[in-house]
Structure formats: structure tokens, C-alpha cells
Amino acid sequence: MVDAPVTGNLASTPAVTVPAATTPLVATDPVSGLPADISELVRTGSSLMAKGDLLGARYALNKVLLDARTPGAEREGLRRQIAALNETLVFSPTVAPNDLLFGTYAVVSGDNVTKVMRSQAPFVDRLFLGRINKMADVNKLNVGKRLKVPRQPFHLIVHKDAYRADLYMGPPLPPDATISLAEPIEARLVGWTYIRSFAVGLGESNGTPEGLFAVRPNSKLINPEWINPRDRTRFTADDPANPIGEHWIGLEGAEERTKTFAAYGMHGTIHADSIGKEQSMGCVRMLAGDIAMVYEVMAEKVSHVWIVK
């Protein structure tokens, strides 16, 4: 039983090839104990960060994060460092030279926000365009204004054991992608860049299904009505007692083993203390501010949600 609510054409991007596991190197750094090339990348990232080269630092640290040889104990620190860099690289109006994830667009006469979103930012909601450009009203565009626009879609990996969802940017996964349990999931994400993480709540009795999903077409809702499938209690829009909060993102199976799941999704919660616990009917729950941001960046038919153990 799941907790779905009652009720665009996007530019395509090339699918990324899922590689085989990386073969560990023999050489290790005598100080850190990490493989020598990984240790060197960490030092490079720190050096570039100190020099103000945020893009170069993120590139180096992201390579370490996504390397199968990087110990799990090191990944939390890497995520914190990269997320701090992304406060500027992603969530501010700054566009670093040679950044492949973001570009700029100069508003011309005759533009409106719908036209700009369709041609320049098809992977995100207009609210995200306003967020990263610090615009009080994204619907008001001034001719000549340079807008920061995303060039790749966003995706989520939900780690059930850690009650954590990691946000990435990168091309969609191939339709035949499967999860290898023999290596860290990060090692499968060629072409993806880590953005930040969110705490989540999950389905009771391990009820949140695992596997690869995509955002279902016409499923993103703000302030949805919801009927509890267990006792048929109806919660109308604007009801402060609505358990699923203000945002809903529907999911559909994107690989053979997940295609049988229906009416699953991601949503908010009015019970903040349920985050980090198994208390829903199967869906992924997030804090109100977190699901609002995820709603802004997840694209229907394009963004993937990969739920792993």
C-alpha cells in the first residue's frame, strides 16, 4: 500500500555508459593509506580550493567521491566539502568559466519566462531559475539581464540504510541500467556531479521499493489533495493536517524490476520527527524546505531516482 495523492517536452541528453568496477591499484599513499592517485586528487582538490578555483576543486573531489576504491568513511567528508563548493557553483548567480553544468543566457526583447524556460532551462522549474539568480519575481525579465541556466538534468540517489538522498547533476542513466551490489553505487555514476544531500524518511517495515525510477509525466503537484488508502480519510488542498505536505513528485519504474510498482513517489511531511525513520506507507518523505527544492529541479521523464539499500 502506498501514499499517492488523488491526482513538457524536455530536451534529450545522451545516456551515460555504466562502467565495470574499477580495479584497485597496488600503490598506496603511506600517509593516508588511500591509493596513491586518489590521495593525490584529494591534495589537488584542497590546493585548488585554497587558490579559489572552486570548479577545479569540485572536479577533483567529485572524482574521489565516485571512485569505487574510496572508503565509505571518507565519503561523508567529501560530500560536505563538495556541497559547500556548490553553494557558490550551483545555488548562487555565479557561473564559473568552463562549467559544463551551468551557462548564461542574456534576455532579449520578446522573451518571457515560459519561452526562456523552454529553450534554456527545460530540466528545472522556473522557481529554481529564480532561486539561483536571486530573483524576487522570476516572471519579470529585463532585457539584457544575464541569467544563470542549468545545462544538465538533476537526479537523486536514495540510500535507505543511511536515510539520505544525494542530489546529482548529469545525463540520464541508460534504460538498461542495473544496480551492482558488489561496489559502491557512486562508482556507477560516470558523468554525474554530486550537488548536496537531504535527510529522508522511508516506508514502514522496509516498504520503500529499491531500484531505478524516473519522475512520472504529469505527476509533479503543489498542494495536492490526498486520500489515505488505508482508512479513506480525505485531506483537501490547503488542509494543514494533510500528512504529505505541500509537494508531491510521482515515480514510475525505469527498469524491469521496478515497472510493477505504482503510485509511489516523494513528498513532504508535517511530521518532521518522522525523518530518519520508517513510518510512511512506502514513499520517500522529506522536510518541507528540502522537498520544495527537489521539486524545483526534478524533470518529468528525464530525472532519475535510484533507490538503493
Confidence bin at 26 (pLDDT 50/70/90): very low
pLDDT given at position 271: 92
pLDDT given at position 256: 84
pLDDT given at position 20: 38
| Average pLDDT in the chain | 87
pLDDT given at position 4: 58
pLDDT given at position 63: 95
- Of the two residues 32 and 206, the one the predictor is more confident about is 206
Taking the CA atoms of residue 70, residue 71, residue 76 and residue 81 in that order, the dihedral angle to the nearest 10 degrees is -30
For the segment 77-106, what is each residue's pLDDT rounded down to a tens digit? 999 999 999 999 999 999 999 999 999 999
pLDDT given at position 7: 43
Per-residue pLDDT averaged across 198-211, rounded?
94
CA distances 115 to 109, 186, 220, 299, Å, are 12, 36, 20, 17
pLDDT at 178 exceeding the cut of 90: no
Taking the CA atoms of residue 147, residue 152, residue 153 and residue 158 in that order, the dihedral angle to the nearest 10 degrees is -120
Confidence bin at 28 (pLDDT 50/70/90): low
- Of the two residues 14 and 215, the one the predictor is more confident about is 215
- Of the two residues 40 and 34, the one the predictor is more confident about is 40
For the segment 224-272, what is each residue's pLDDT rounded down to a tens digit? 887 877 778 888 788 887 888 999 999 999 888 898 888 899 999 999 9
**Does residue 275 contact residue 295 with C-beta atoms inside 8 Å?**
no
pLDDT given at position 11: 35
Per-domain boundaries in the chain: 102-150, 154-308
pLDDT given at position 17: 32
pLDDT given at position 177: 65
Interhelix angle 54-65/72-89, rounded to 10 degrees, is 150
Determine how many CB atoms are found less than 10 A away from the CB of residue 228.
14
pLDDT given at position 6: 44
For the segment 148-174, what is each residue's pLDDT rounded down to a tens digit? 999 999 999 999 999 999 999 999 877
- Terminal-to-terminal C-alpha distance of the chain: 20
CA distances 271 to 185, 232, 288, 295, Å, are 30, 20, 10, 19
Domain 102-150, CATH number (from 3.30.565.10, 3.30.365.10, 3.40.50.11900, 3.10.350.10): 3.10.350.10
Q: What is the DSSP string of the chain?
A: -------------PPPPPPPPPPPPS-B-TTT-SBHHHHHHHHHHHHHHHTT-HHHHHHHHHHHHT-TTS-HHHHHHHHHHHHHHHHHHTTSS---TT-SSEEEEE--TT--HHHHHHHH-TTS-HHHHHHHTT-S-TT---TTPEEEEESS-EEEEEETTTTEEEEEESPPPPTT----TTS-GGGG-TT-EEEEEEEEEEEGGG-SPPEEEEEPTT--EES--EE-TTT--EE-TT-TT-TTTTEEEEEEE-SGGGTT--S-EEE--S-GGGTTSEEESSSEEE-HHHHHHHHHHPPTTT-EEEEE-
Domain 154-308, CATH number (from 3.90.1170.50, 2.60.40.2310, 1.10.10.10, 2.40.440.10): 2.40.440.10
pLDDT given at position 185: 75
pLDDT given at position 93: 98
pLDDT given at position 19: 35
pLDDT given at position 27: 66
pLDDT given at position 31: 57
Our measurement of the distance from residue 160's CA atom to the centroid of its chain's CA atoms, rounded to an integer in Å, reads 15
Residue with cell 585554497: 50
Rounded Cα distance, 111 and 267, in Å? 33
**Does residue 45 contact residue 57 with C-beta atoms inside 8 Å?**
yes
* pTM attached to this predicted model: 0.88
Our measurement of the distance from residue 307's CA atom to the centroid of its chain's CA atoms, rounded to an integer in Å, reads 12
